[in-house]
Structure 1
């Protein structure tokens, strides 16, 4: 049996699930493992079944039993920046349990099943709140809708700042806005951020809708609204990456940072069709 560990917030869960869908094409005995999510208190826990109506569980096991099995019967395969290569994951192994750990943040892992991934990640519109429903009805009626995601919040914490928080700051957003406005006439920015006051004080947006109502377990509706925009400015966040990717329009413009983390260039995760701009 091949098990794929699920962890992280919604964006990371989606990358892992897309990788699982690709693996399922090759192996009938592959399962996602939600054991760690049973104790995951960051973000909003496992969300795939709530946001997309996917199955709640594929494989769960008692944590203590799992540790014993890992020691005796598991062969653990860690993702080591394969940049989308499936070779380490599709080879034959003699162990009874092959356990895959990683985030698989690259479109190449599921490039040949994009339609299946989009179908799996179809938002349940019956669950959207009244304000989101109202905004959806107004999309595109007064200018070209462009999403812009400014992630601050946890990215400003000391434990995250050096690796990821310092990447998309004011210089990046000014560069991104300049690049977008050279390409799009009459944009209306739909702004998604945990710190909208900072945005209002620092970014000169002539026309903007500040999305401030999707809180707590409704946060996924921000991603859904992003995906309905015509174009996108993302930050180094898998949440806005998916918000842009799920827009199926082949002519969309997506602006992304040329650096994703302090050690990882944007090219390792940003699709080749998207436009990368400097962060300074």
Structure 2
């Protein structure tokens, strides 16, 4: 793009530079508006990863740029945007200035950008027929939205290595034994009335039945936002490590990114009905592993969740 001419340049040179600058700016604006997929990002880490993966797959499919709409986080203080920790290929939309809002309104009146809104929990094959420019909204909880580009998605959404040695040592333990990650999600599934009404809360019976399906020489590594509940309510017939407890005692900072990174080192997985542990299993991508997921995901029996869990996983 041409730079502004210095004051000492001739009027003719300034005019030529100005015209070149206007032409370059127009080209940039046209390509951005005509070839951009904009996806709304919301929720916690697992949901953010699902939304990014779907948007990224669509942008690869159409060879266009991807923009992340982060307006959700301007009002939801209990959630934070976390994808900056990953080597993602997207640019963020920033809070617009007053002038930009006016300009955007004028442009939207002259050119309508369509919106693709997810309609159900089932995979929609028509998703990849959505042409840019487009705004995308939904959760896209199925690997079918990005499985054609699975290797690239895994590369871009592999969690960063934790900086502390205790976490790295735990990863070595996971890799050196017949390891299974077991994730217990409590949190808002128990304390938030809306979440409690919508989502089934995995029972101790589910986790115990899943553990019984593991090889007898397995070591179960338990991850949870309520590790005390897991210790008191899940009877394990296998060697068990309570990861959050051990790492807390070792002084390792507890973060979702750390736990997700550790989960990817396990050979098998017992997940909760949670996008967080879903990603821990999916990113591991071990051909020989066993992944067990709950048969029940939502409390509402009318919700069809058959596309949430990959066909190679076992639901009980």
Provide the TM-score with structure 1 as the length reference. Answer: 0.84
* 1:59 to partner: Cα distance: 2.8
Measured in 2, the distance between the counterparts of 1:114 and 1:18 equals 9
Q: Measured at CA, do residues 2 and 122 of structure 1 come closer, stay the same or move farther in structure 2, by a change above 3 Å?
A: closer
2:22 matched to which residue of 1?
none
Q: 114, 125, 149: which is aligned to 1:113?
A: 149
Q: Deviations over 1:68-123 (max 9, x none)?
A: 57974342221012633341452448xxx521101111011111111111111223
2:126 matched to which residue of 1?
87
* 1:129 to partner: Cα distance: 2.1
- 1:190 counterpart SS class: strand
Measured in 2, the distance between the counterparts of 1:170 and 1:216 equals 27
1:203 matched to which residue of 2?
234
* Alignment check: 8 A CA contact 2:180 2:218 kept: yes
Measured in 2, the distance between the counterparts of 1:116 and 1:62 equals 31
2:168 matched to which residue of 1?
133
Measured in 2, the distance between the counterparts of 1:38 and 1:62 equals 14
After TM superposition, list the pairs within 5 Å mapping 1:3-82 onto structure 2. Answer: 3-39=38-74, 40-43=76-79, 45-50=80-85, 52-54=86-88, 57-62=91-96, 65=101, 68=105, 72=109, 73-81=112-120
Q: Deviations over 1:147-186 (max 9, x none)?
A: 000101111022211211x3312232222223x23xx231
- 1:77 counterpart SS class: strand
* Alignment check: 8 A CA contact 1:83 1:108 kept: no
**Structure 2 unaligned spans of 5+:** 1-35
Segment of structure 1 superposing worse, 74-83 or 29-38 = 29-38
- Greater Rg by CA: 2
Q: Measured at CA, do residues 167 and 138 of structure 1 come closer, stay the same or move farther in structure 2, by a change above 3 Å?
A: closer
Q: Deviations over 1:128-149 (max 9, x none)?
A: 32220121222344x4111000
Q: 230, 250, 260: which is aligned to 2:287?
A: 250
After TM superposition, list the pairs within 5 Å mapping 1:174-189 onto structure 2. Answer: 174-178=208-212, 180-181=213-214, 184-189=215-220
Q: Measured at CA, do residues 70 and 163 of structure 1 come closer, stay the same or move farther in structure 2, by a change above 3 Å?
A: farther
Measured in 1, the distance between the counterparts of 2:226 and 2:73 equals 30
**Structure 1 unaligned spans of 5+:** none
Q: Measured at CA, do residues 46 and 57 of structure 1 come closer, stay the same or move farther in structure 2, by a change above 3 Å?
A: farther
Does structure 1 residue 162 correspond to structure 2 residue 193? no
Q: Measured at CA, do residues 68 and 171 of structure 1 come closer, stay the same or move farther in structure 2, by a change above 3 Å?
A: farther
In angstroms, what is the RMSD of aligned CA positions? 2.7
Q: Measured at CA, do residues 29 and 249 of structure 1 come closer, stay the same or move farther in structure 2, by a change above 3 Å?
A: closer
* Alignment check: 8 A CA contact 2:159 2:260 kept: no
